Chain A
Amino acid sequence: MTEKNTPLWEVFIRSRTGMAHRHCGSVHAADEEMALQAARDVYTRRGEGVSIWVVPSSAIVASDPTEKDVMFEPTASKIYRHPTFYEIPEEVGNM
């Protein structure tokens, strides 16, 4: 194909005020303005969102799934970071 490829954008949608933007898919578009319009048409045809972010897919840096044990192991052993690690007498009530 002689044509240049149209860039890929990742789409994030805030479904309601107060919620976080959540990844929902991707679109191809020549620039950010068209990416926003395409994302609106493709992913919010029934009021699914109140705000859209589009991010060039090439700008996303991801952790390596094969390294996930090494990456996340340090948190697994630190049980003292959880409230249930500490014993509070029942008489104290909810804490």
Chain B
Amino acid sequence: MYTQALNARDASDERSEDAALLAAFQARVDAEEKIEPNDWMPEAYRKTLVRQISQHAHSEIVGMLPEGNWISRAPTLKRKAALLAKVQDEGGHGLYLYSAAETLGVSREELTEQLLSGKAKYSSIFNYPTLTWADIGAIGWLVDGAAIMNQIPLCRCSFGPYSRAMIRVCKEESFHQRQGYELLLEMCRSSEEQKAMVQDALNRWWWPSLMMFGPSDTDSKHSAQSMAWKIKRFTNDELRQKFVDATVPQAHYLGLTLPDPDLKFNEETGHWEYGEIDWEEFSRVVAGNGPCNRERLAARRKAWDEGAWVREAALAHAEKRRNRREAARIAAE
């Protein structure tokens, strides 16, 4: 999902750690005990979580960009207020997650640097452009819908701060999906032209949304370990299937056609079977060559650079006030 780039194995994780400590750790995880930041944990568990939580945080922050694009062009004041609130929520989600990652001993400055230098990944979905207003609805419905599928099981993640952050996020996410779907419903009922715009948005966002769940289980190297550590509760394909099953009837309710000729309902299993995902496209976007990768990073770098004077001024102001207080204290003595 937000951690599609977790597939590279790190050889240094393989070094041996005290077998007794490892066994005690696994026993705690198996007993569904939450692991807290100061508890002993295997180095690889810490590293996996730092990468997963920070990639998730970066995704929230970069995710503000495609939607932010439409704030000034929202068709009504109601839609504008909702979109502003949603984008602000995404920023908030990023901050909850950064704060959870920092409990593992990594600083906010390091995390920011990793994003801006291009070293850290974020979800591939945010490298697609928002071309029309219907894309805003499609993001809420599909992208946030996929995120909810992924985040609900993360509320039970073994790492306490991550699980608590996810609980907060999930409480807010439902509004995101509903405002998107409602917006599309209104467009579909308004005119043929608007409905065509929604169909076009679905055509472009459907496959990238399925890719959000990451590589298929056969290609997902980290899944087994993350499941054993109870960081992950379901495999990529299991979550993707849940999403497809939930979303196809919603598309039909809007009167839309899914852009997948192989899509069919299997009466026996009760699941919607979908066609082959274009994994070439997925790898290309994750590797940095999607439609908007460069634009997104450039926007984040610009925001960081142009905000430098604000950060410096805030620190200088805080220091000035501290010095004044100190001077007043000395004078009073």
A7: min CB distance to chain B, Å: 8
Q: How many A-B residue pairs have CB under 8 A?
A: 60
Chain A hits for B143, CB < 8 A = none
Q: Would you call B107 an interface residue if the criterion is a C-beta within 8 Å of the partner chain's C-beta atoms?
A: yes
Which of A38-46, A74-82, A84-92 touches B? A38-46
CA distance A53 to B39 in the complex (A): 26
Interface residue count on the B side (C-beta < 8 Å): 30
Chain B hits for A30, CB < 8 A = 311, 314-315, 317-318
Chain B hits for A42, CB < 8 A = 92, 95-96
1/0 contact string of B106-118 vs chain A (CB within 8 Å): 0111000100000
Chain A hits for B102, CB < 8 A = 8, 26
Cross-chain contact B96 with A25 (CB below 8 angstroms): yes
CA distance A29 to B88 in the complex (A): 18
B113: min CB distance to chain A, Å: 6
Interface residue count on the A side (C-beta < 8 Å): 24
Q: Would you call A61 an interface residue if the criterion is a C-beta within 8 Å of the partner chain's C-beta atoms?
A: no
Chain B hits for A1, CB < 8 A = 109, 113
Q: Which of A26, A31, A64 contacts B99 (CB 8 A)?
A: A26
Q: Which 9 A-B pairs have CB atoms at the shortest separation, nearest pair first?
A: A31-B318, A30-B314, A30-B318, A26-B99, A25-B99, A30-B315, A42-B95, A65-B38, A65-B39
Q: Could you give 6 example pairs across A and B, Cβ below 8 Å?
A: A3-B308, A26-B99, A29-B314, A42-B92, A42-B95, A45-B89
